[in-house]
Amino acid sequence: MQYRKLGRTGVEVSTQTLGAMMFGAVGNPDHAESERIVHRALDAGINFIDTADMYSAGESEEIVGKALKGRRDDVVLASKFFFPLGEERNARGGSRRYIFRAVEDSLRRLGTDRIDLYQMHRRDWETDLEETLDALTDLVRQGKVLYVGSSSFPADWIVEAQWAAERRGGVRFVCEQPQYSIFARSIEESMLPAARRHGMGVIPWSPLAGGWLTGKYRRGEQAPEGARFAPSDNPAWRGRTVDTDPSVSARYDAVERLSKIAEQAGLSLTHLALGFVAEHPAITSTIIGPKTMAQLEDLLDAADVRLDAATLDAIDEVVPPGTDMAGIKHMTGNPSLDAENRRRS
């Protein structure tokens, strides 16, 4: 395992981050196994764990908190806020009122007195960004949060947040958590350069494109049971299947071509995909999100994978730099694209 500075902070984090989204009802409901996954990751040298209050409605944070008892100081612990966890109208978003409530709930579930990196899970189009940053600044001054970051912010919002922090004399976002994989490369055009200009760390999520870049989805074959895009009764994934995705044919084609590139490089498709993300100079640490111990072991084996220029050039032929595969969604929630806002009459 290697380590890098988190942006311009003095904190060193492992180049793999243990993502905890699959801990709990959405992924693995076995708390004991999830805790063992955390312990194995720490023993392998991972010192960066990322969760969120909305993962399995807080269950993920509870699992992580239990797993870190006695080892809390060995870990850079990250969580996120934004998404609603109930029906109350103000229990969501980036308002001061909600942030102060959300952080207390996360601290309680995690069983800790501080969150090392507290991230805004999505943009709040309805709340002044300065209000959000002022609230986060107060949390840092209180010691409940040490650093703050953003997730899925485009380049213009990244820049605006930096300027707002400077204007207000408050804390700045030290890192960004975007979607990034061979299938989702649009952030290479402007978001990653903006992050580098402002000295931000980058910790991308979904480097395996929801499992597509493991090779588990193949043309003419049924998706394996339990896979994210297989038919499921789990309400978190209901309706998201390969059978209902109109872009699936292009993805099958890409997987077939990428599998050949991986074979020529002497790698599995999974390791090729993780190596690709890690090669970009803007990337600090790649989030891996295992559901089982076997998945974790495979992902750990990719920690030191490096791709040569020929392999990277071959990947560029499949998905050109700065572009996304059809069907990729960045979940921006941009209200400007709603029908009622994009018409002139």
Q: Which residues are catalytic?
A: 55
**Angle formed at CA 253 by CA 248 and CA 259, multiple of 5 degrees:** 120
* Helix 248-264 / helix 269-279 crossing angle, nearest 10 deg: 90
How far apart are the C-alpha atoms of 267 and 40, rounded to whole Å?
23
Which tokens in the block code for residue 319? 């998905």
> What is the SS3 assignment for 288?
strand
How far apart are the C-alpha atoms of 286 and 52, rounded to whole Å?
16
Q: What phi-psi label fits residue 321: left (phi over 0), alpha (psi between -120 and 50 degrees) or beta?
A: beta
Report CA-CA distances (Å) from 147 to 7, 11, 78, 228, 252: 11, 10, 9, 32, 40
Contacts 24+ apart (CB under 8 A), 99-106: 99/132, 99/135, 99/136, 99/139, 100/135, 100/139, 102/53, 103/139, 103/144, 103/145, 105/53, 105/58, 106/53, 106/61, 106/79, 106/81
Q: What phi-psi label fits residue 253: left (phi over 0), alpha (psi between -120 and 50 degrees) or beta?
A: alpha
**Angle formed at CA 31 by CA 28 and CA 36, multiple of 5 degrees:** 95
**The tokens 């402007």 sit on which residue?**
190
Residues across the chain: 345
Closest CA to 16 of 219, 251, 300: 300
Read off the amino acid at residue 28. N
Residues 6+ apart with CB under 8 A from 223: 216, 217, 229, 230, 231, 241, 242
Bridge partner list, 286 = 16
